[in-house]
Structure 1
Amino acid sequence: MAVLEPYKHGYYLWKYLPSVPAAALFCVVFLIGTSLLIWRIWKTRTWMATPFAIGGFMEFVGFAARASAHNKTGKLMPFVMQNNMILLAPVLFAASIYMVLGRVIRATKGEAHSIIKPRRLTRLFVTGDSLSLAIQGTGGGLMVVAEYGKVAQAIVIVGLVFQIVIFGLFCTTAFLFHRRMGQDPVTEYVTGDIEWEPILYMLYAVSVLIMLRSLFRVVEFIMGADGYLLSTEWPLYVFDAVPMLLAMVAYWRWFPSTLQSSGSRLSGTSLSHLTTSRMDSK
């Protein structure tokens, strides 16, 4: 029968025995979701979705490590694997949706309606995402060292808050672009069969899910290693695993493959030119 075992000098990595059935269930569903996403990426050649698939694979590895840790609570590797993979996977999800917004803006010729130029938008948000990944990864790595526990939690909190700030700016950029495009009388001429609005709604949904999950993680680490959220298993599944699974489902359901098609775009035609042409025809 499995029991909690100390890692070193009476220091316990786990506050509870991780559930094998729960971990195995999410291990399987994330593997299925990732496999379906990879198939869709390959079929449509939508390579910008690759980071999302990598994030899904990280979730799979993380929950597989949790399942294996049930009888190895005194071992370092399973704990580190599950902690870092599950903590960092949403950062890869975010990288994909940042790239999608830039593609939407360029595909609809809506550069004039974006508060950040598309060529800078993806670079800005992906860079911010990479910094968040580095900060959270550093904190996650230090969490296994007892004397650096509080420092590690503080570092992870900084990374999560930074991610939330970046998400706030991203959502503001997407919302303002969406509203301005809706108010533009030539939108119908430049979008063609590009399903840009459903894609934006998908971005909103995934962004909200990741942001709520990040807020949960902030509260979790603020409460500390002995707090209820880190000492109890069910909140991880309800407020982290489930939202990230829903994010993957939403991304797959409203997959941005139409952004790869160029047949319906009016290449080289500016919004102002289209407006002028429409006015001249009247």
Structure 2
Amino acid sequence: MIQTKTWISMFFVLGAFMQLAGFTARVFSTQDSCNRTAYGIQSVLLLLGPSSIMISVNLVQTVFYQALDAENFCWVSITWQRIVYPTLNAILIILQAIGGIMVVGSSSRVTIASATKLTIAIYVAQTFFWAFTLAENIYMSIRLCRDPTEASQTLLPRWRSWNQLFGLSISIIGLGRNVMRLTMAGGIAFLVENEWPAYAFDGYQMVVVLGAWVIWYLPGQCRGITSKPNWMHLMTLERRETPQYCEEC
């Protein structure tokens, strides 16, 4: 693989940058409510930031399955995950960007209404897609507990702890954040008149999710295994050669 440490994790950095830029624009817009530029930046970047973070989450999830040698427990093969998951995320985030830009850049009510419907549809599609990846992860975890692989016992013995990062990320960003946005789109008066709960939730999810990934840097753990398979397999075989096993031979 191309440097896992860089290209897989770059969407974490990109998403965090979008979030910070969006919050900065939000500060400027509170000082000048007529500043359409600041409003447009905050609306689009806070829309795309969490989605960018989820691209890295899904990419690391695939590498994690590979490191655990758990492809047989996945609903979608690792080969197809490398193609389908990033492609779906890319399509959804592009459509989401188009919808967000149309909302903030148009003065036509018809265009704004159409763009809003597009944005809502993308929220729903993302929710179902990320819920599917979470369900796949739960199924993989159950199967791996019942029938552990050699890699899960020797190369990644703490896989259960690291696996919680995916549940944390998907439940907060993939489900919680999108449900919050869909609730706002439903026309609840308090959320429509007061945007701060949505922005507070965006800030909370960025701090919690990215903080957890920084503390337990899973891409680096997986890269140490997938980039040196021959060496790691030799180490595994060496550990299994116990004195008792040699006597039996």
Q: Normalised by the size of structure 1, how large is the TM-score?
A: 0.73
Name the structure 1 match of 2:49: 89
Mean Cα displacement is larger for which, 91-100 or 237-246? 237-246
- Measure how far apart 1:190 and its partner are: 5.8
Query: Which of 46, 58, 76 is equivalent to 1:98?
Result: 58
| Aligned counterparts, 1:1-282, within 5 A | 45-144=5-104, 145-146=106-107, 147=109, 148-187=111-150, 191-193=154-156, 195-210=158-173, 211-223=175-187, 227-256=189-218, 257-262=220-225, 265-266=232-233
Q: Which has the higher helix share?
A: 2
Stretch moving more, 257-266 or 111-120: 257-266
Matched residue count: 227
Consecutive unaligned residues in structure 2, runs of 5 or more = 237-244
Cα deviation, 1:208-266, whole Å, max 9, x if unaligned, reads 00110111001112218xx4313203312333321232111122122211111135743
Q: CA RMSD in A?
A: 2.6
Deviation >3 Å, runs of 4+:
44-47, 185-191
- Counterparts of 2:154 and 2:37 in 1: how far apart (Å)? 50
User: Structure 1: which 5+ runs fail to align?
Assistant: 1-41, 270-277
| Higher RCO (CA < 8 A, seq sep 6+) | 2
Query: Percent of aligned positions with the same letter in both sequences?
Result: 21
TM-score between the two structures when normalised by the length of structure 2: 0.82
CA distance in 2, matches of 1:247, 1:57: 14
- Per-residue CA deviation, residues 167-211 of structure 1 (Å, 9 max, x unaligned), is 011011111111111111444676424643222111110110011
